[in-house]
Structure 1
Amino acid sequence: MTSDNFEIFNFNESLQEGLDAMGFTKPTPIQKEAIPEILKGNDLIACAQTGTGKTAAFILPILHKIAEKGDNQFNTMIIAPTRELAIQIDQQIQGLAYFVGVSSIAIYGGGDGLAWEQQKKALEHGTEIVVATPGRLIALLAGGKIKLDTLEHLVLDEADRMLDMGFSDDILKIINYLPKSRQTVLFSATMPPKIRQFSKQIVSDPSEINIAISKTAKGVTQLVYMVHDPDKEKLLEQILTQKNYEAVIIFASTKDKVKSIFRTLKKKFDTEAFHSDLTQEERENIMSNFKNRSLKILIGTDIISRGIDVEGIELVINYDTPNDPEDYVHRVGRTARADKKGEAITFVNDKDLYKLHRIQNLIGLEISRMDLPDGINNAPTYKEGKPGKKKGPSGGGSFKKRDNKKKPNHSGRSNNKGEKPQNTTEKPQQSSNPDSSSKTKDAENAGKFKTRRNVTE
């Protein structure tokens, strides 16, 4: 398709009027490729990460079908790995579905008894689209609270995340409840062999779409500090005091570390820790406060790197170097959205150099390294090595001890051979879309599917 507006899909008149009223004009690559396949009724496997417009890619054609059919029966089930993502998807559906008179509900655990009763009543009164997490959905299915005979669409969002979280058995159990005659759509940020194998159990003769390739946005200034673990908190405090940031996300590797950082920062900064020990109400309040800027700094694990859409993030700090290079892309993707500028800082200790090189290999960029500020003198030193070049067991360089007394300068000075911080060259999609934009990883070339496309944004 060569046209660059939503009119090429011949959507239901009310749905198209809604898109026009909301100012959505230009579909993203995943939308241009996925919407026609879903409209045809084909099962689909799509590799596309958060920010590419994937939610609208499956919601718009489903809303069109429901509107054209004209009944109010239960039609679509969407399964998401986390409560936060389920809520976000439901919010997007409500915005788009308003114009065609379609209802939806988010079903998830972690709430109180009142929330559970509200969810059950909504299902009993009828809703066309249900967005659910696996655990709560199984409870409803086992209790006979959802009538499935009219179901036409099943959507699995962030399938790779669900498998990583151990939901594969739950999903297969859910599948056993569903009508065999249905359209199944599977979205995944990555497409490793385990996803391929899993998909064979739930889709039939699927089309496939791959959105290439994992890159960070052009507007992100990416920086690295070589720092030992005991000095990280001191460095973090100094960075946060250099500027009056309005929106910062700090990523740590574990829940316990998130809590530790929070105990330190709360003495001086407006901050909250976001983790699984909080109640659902507490988590929703924290995220609401962060979105409306009454909360400036959010600390969490990768639970907030996917599926959380917050505009205007100025700074992302990787307190721990991500284990998976894809996680780095997801984390950094929280900033510099919709053509805005942002900064991403990663702390690298003496054991994590190989992780840095894996990240650089994925994004095709050697990230600029900053001098440590006064008061942090003993730091690991990066031995130069270009991405993709293996130099010893670390896969691209090694550490040595050094004294480092230079002040950090986020305006561009680094200790990377005097070079200014470099940015990637990928440009995010325009904001005239139902979803914001970022980049995704190529699906691995495995399995046979009837339609194969590779799209580079």
Structure 2
Amino acid sequence: MSFDRLGLSPELLRAVASQGYTEPTPVQSQAIPLVLQGRDVLAGAQTGTGKTAAFVLPLIQRLHASRPSGPRVIRALILTPTRELALQVEESVRTYGSQNSIRSTTIYGGVGFDPQVRALRAGPEIVVATPGRLLDHLGQRTIDLSRVEILVLDEADRMLDMGFIRDIRKVLAVLPARRQNLLFSATFSNEIRRLADGLLDNPAAVQVTPRNTPTELVTHVVHMVDRERKRELLSHLVTSGRIDQALVFTRTKHGANRLAQQLDKDGITATAIHGNKSQPQRVRALADFKAGRFAILVATEVAARGLDIEALPHVVNFELPMVPEDYVHRIGRTGRAGVDGDAVSLVCVDELKL
């Protein structure tokens, strides 16, 4: 199937073609027609499946087709768990909406409040936001969501994992009752089901991958190793050429910093990214990693959420996550867009119970 059979406008088809895409991914071919019909959608799709375009493309078309006269108002709200993901989603909105004169902005914490207020006053039609900072703007009455027509919860499972459920419910309380709702999630817990049941009206279900399972493009490798020798083994895997570039997961911010410093002493270019880093520091570290200036990017669970790294060959679990769903999210950074990847786990005896 080609994009021109999904019901997209010529402007959007040109925007898609300009990015080099010729055929929609499964989630795109299933979700785009449903969103264009105005249906509520419950979509199970992991990172790397093309899910962002699956809601951004039809969202732009629906807004453009029914643009009201008068001042611009916020007509679509996209909630994401992290600022990195918010920036990436809004970049997609800008890319695909360039020929439709759709205005958008991002709202997230860790940066100044006033520039966001000015951006909101400029009249965006689409706002991509993290829940906490969005509530700050609602509390200060610097944002008006009374005209929202479409709500998207992107990576809803991670938002719940990060404790945003109360914030999400507060946001829902100020939105118009009549609206289209789209919920995208890589995994489906009972809490996600309860949220979906209360949010979605007769939703169409889109399931691209089996629930709570990793992608088939990823090869899983486990190395049993004593905890105190994990860093030594990781260094060996890199210096021997078995791992050339990798996103490495640790459980704590301190652990991420320490591992990056130790690898650097081993002669391996490494940097860390976590919640204590400022937004400019995180953006710079990611850009340097993508450019190949670092072989290793060490990250915590939350910091890595939403990171978009094209053709990442390896993900390393320096420490196993506490819950299986987090394993799915971690390895979702590799094996993307039809490209094979490796998930390497360094496991010590006391982690076997995980």
Does TM, normalized by the shorter one, top 0.5? yes
Q: CA deviation at 1:243?
A: 2.3
Match of 1:437 in 2: none
Displacement after TM superposition at 1:244 (Å): 8.9
Could you tell me how far apart the structure 2 residues matched to 1:143 and 1:105 are? 18
In the TM superposition, residue 247 of structure 1 has moved relative to its aligned partner by: 2.6
Assess, with a 3 A threshold, how the Cα gap between structure 1 residues 103 and 320 changes in structure 2: closer, same or farther.
same
Q: Deviation at 1:150?
A: 2.4
Partners of 1:250 and 1:317 within 8 A in 2: yes
Instruction: Note the 1:87-236 alignment, pairs <5 A.
Output: 87-111=87-111, 113=112, 116-213=113-210, 214-218=213-217, 220-236=218-234
Identity %: 39
Report the alpha carbon displacement of residue 304 of structure 1 after superposing the two structures with TM: 4.8
Map of 1:307 onto structure 2: 306
| Counterpart among 259, 263, 266 of residue 265 in structure 1 | 263
Decide which structure has greater helix share.
2
Unaligned runs of 5+ in 2: none
**Structure 1: which 5+ runs fail to align?**
356-457
Q: TM-score, length-normalised on structure 1?
A: 0.72
Contact 1:217-1:337 at 8 Å conserved across structures: no
- For 1:201 and 1:340, locate their aligned partners in 2 and report how far apart those are by CA, in whole Å: 37
CA distance in 2, matches of 1:236, 1:183: 47
- Structure index of larger Rg: 1
**Runs of at least 4 residues off by over 6 Å:** none
Q: Distance in 1 between matches of 2:144 and 2:321?
A: 42
CA separation in 1, counterparts of 2:224 and 2:242? Answer: 24
Residue pair 2:252, 2:300 contacting (<8 A) in 1 also: yes
CA distance in 2, matches of 1:327, 1:175: 26
Give the Å deviation of 1:174: 0.8
Say which SS state the counterpart of residue 99 (structure 1) adopts.
coil
Deviation at 1:246, TM superposition (A): 5.2
> For 1:423-456, what per-residue CA distance to the aligned partner results, in whole angstroms no more than 9, with x for missing partners?
xxxxxxxxxxxxxxxxxxxxxxxxxxxxxxxxxx
Q: Alignment partner of 2:333: what SS?
A: coil
Q: 1:106 aligns to what SS in structure 2?
A: strand
What SS does the corresponding residue of 2:349 show, helix, strand or coil? coil
Match of residue 325 from structure 1: 324
CA distance in 2, matches of 1:186, 1:222: 29
Q: Write out aligned runs for 1:60-79 (5 A).
A: 60-71=57-68, 72-79=72-79
Instruction: Give the whole-Å Cα distance in 2 for the aligned partners of 1:183 and 1:342.
Output: 36
Whichever residue aligns with residue 48 of structure 2, its letter is G
Distance 2:128 2:153 in 1: 10
RMSD, matched Cα:
1.9
* Partner in structure 2 of residue 9 of structure 1: 6
* More relative contact order, 1 or 2 (CA 8 Å, 6+ apart): 1
Code of the residue aligned with 2:279 in structure 1: it is Q
Q: In the alignment, residue 263 of structure 1 is paired with which amino acid?
A: Q
C-alpha distance 191-339 of structure 1, shift in aligned 2 (>3 A): closer
Q: Corresponding residue for 1:402?
A: none
